[in-house]
Amino acid sequence: MKKAVISLAMLIVLCLAFGFHTLAADKPPEKGGVLPVINLPIPKEPAEKAYLGLSGDGTFKIPQIKTNVVIIEIFSMYCPYCQKDAPGVNELYHRIEKDSDLKNRVKIIGIGAGNSPFEVGTYKKTYTVPFPLFSDKDFAIHKAYGEVRTPYFVVVKINDDGTHKIVHSQLGGYPGAEPFLQLVLESSGLK
Amino acid sequence: MNKKRLTHLIFALGILFVLFTAPFAYAISEAYKENIYRVGTLKPVDSVLKVKVGDKAPDFTLPVISGEKFSLSQYRGKKNVVISFVPAAWTPVCSDQWPGYNIIKDVFDQNDATLLGITVDNIPTLFAWTNQMGKLWFPVLSDFWPHGAVAKKYGVLRSDGVSERALFVIDKKGIIRYIDVHDINKRPPLEDLVGALEKLKK
């Protein structure tokens, strides 16, 4: 029994050690590339689950979201520009949800770099963020995304065969809901 | 070497591997552009506390950016006080700490508390740096001269002249109720501070 515990502990330590190496990226995701492989927890909230077209428990990968385009915002509750842009990103969500044509074709998620679930919850509550936010407490995702500064936006096109491609990425400089939506539609070919 | 020892050795090596290869992590806000100086990984704590929970908090008077002076004693009998020492302006973790407190004034209000931010930087530096954070609802105090005197009084002045990343919660009677001298390389999780504030009511 003791042996089994030690072996398990060793396995965990080794997984962690190699995890850091395989996940760490030198540069941010770029246009034309693919996303780093990241497992996110399937939201418990039924509305969020439905929004992403997911079911059950456990984890999912971003290209499994049932949609054509995903906008990923890497943010932090501690980041002044993320705070300033938050209402504008919410507006983008509402603009898409009101458009029956776009509603099921474009989805938004946020990943809180270095933010605990409590901190992500604080950000969500403060700005009434309507789309799903995920905690990246130990910066694992942030590292996989090349330690970008925040806010960082990545737009991904998901193909019918399950493959995907990054069609746009940008650091800061959020131009407002409508110009950003146009940029998303053009870069992804939805328009 | 027997099998058990070997297992332990591999386990220890694994842990060391994780500790030394895990890159230090912080997400710098784009608000600061390229102006954040990368300090690398520092010794987690480099001072010895001179106060403890239950002690009366040493009083101090320091200037703030607006030119006024703030004393800890002015809150006695009126408000609980959170003191947030951060090591230095324009450094990675500090730059992304106070902007978080800036959006939770409601949490401080609910717990009848206020916040005092302190660094050992001089006023012009604090002015330029905190301007990047947007409008702050709490005062930022300069412990620049005599250099780090307040940090020293609390035992959070490091050997290189900057302060620790430390949080002190002081109740209305002026008694220290919570201390977190945090690993300088990491940001204290918000839930710990909020938990300490909520405990004041009990």
CATH for A35: 3.40.30.10
CATH for B71: 3.40.30.10
Domain range for A112 is 2-188
Distance in angstroms (rounded) separating the CA atoms of residues A124 and A43: 14
Q: pLDDT digit of tens for each residue in chain B (202 aa)? A: 566 666 666 666 555 544 444 444 567 788 887 788 888 899 999 999 999 999 999 999 999 998 999 999 999 999 999 999 999 999 877 688 999 999 999 999 999 999 999 999 999 999 999 999 989 999 999 999 999 999 999 999 999 999 999 999 999 999 999 999 999 999 999 999 999 999 998 7
- Structurally, chain B folds into a number of domains equal to 1
Residues 6 or more apart in contact with residue B143 via CB below 8 angstroms: B62, B118, B119, B120, B149, B150, B151, B163
pLDDT confidence band for A18 (50 / 70 / 90): very low
**Dihedral sign of CA atoms A37, A42, A48, A51 in order:** positive
What is the residue-wise DSSP string for A29-52?
--TTS------EEPPSSHHHHHHH
Per the omega criterion (within 30 degrees of 0), is the bond before B146 cis? yes
**pTM value?**
0.85
Per the omega criterion (within 30 degrees of 0), is the bond before A36 cis? no
> Tokens 């591997």 identify what position?
B17
Q: Which of B94, B120, B140, B197 is catalytic?
A: B94
Q: Cβ A80–B99 below 8 Å, yes or no?
A: yes
Q: Where are the beta strands (DSSP E) in A115-163?
A: 133-136, 152-158
Q: Residue B134 in 3-state DSSP? A: coil
**A with B: how many residue pairs have Cβ under 8 Å apart?**
111
Q: Does the interface predicted TM-score (ipTM) exceed 0.85?
A: no
Q: Looking at residue B21, what is its pLDDT?
A: 41
Instruction: Out of B23, B99, B189, name the one closest to residue A118 (CB).
Output: B189
- For the record, the structure tokens of B176 come out as 């220290």
Domain range for B164 is 3-199
Instruction: Out of A16, A123, A150, name the one closest to residue B30 (CB).
Output: A150
Q: Is the pLDDT of residue A3 over 80?
A: no
- Each residue of A53-72: pLDDT tens digit? 999 999 999 999 999 999 99
Q: Is the pLDDT of residue A21 over 50?
A: no
CB burial class (10 A; 0-12, 13-18, 19+) of residue A170? middle
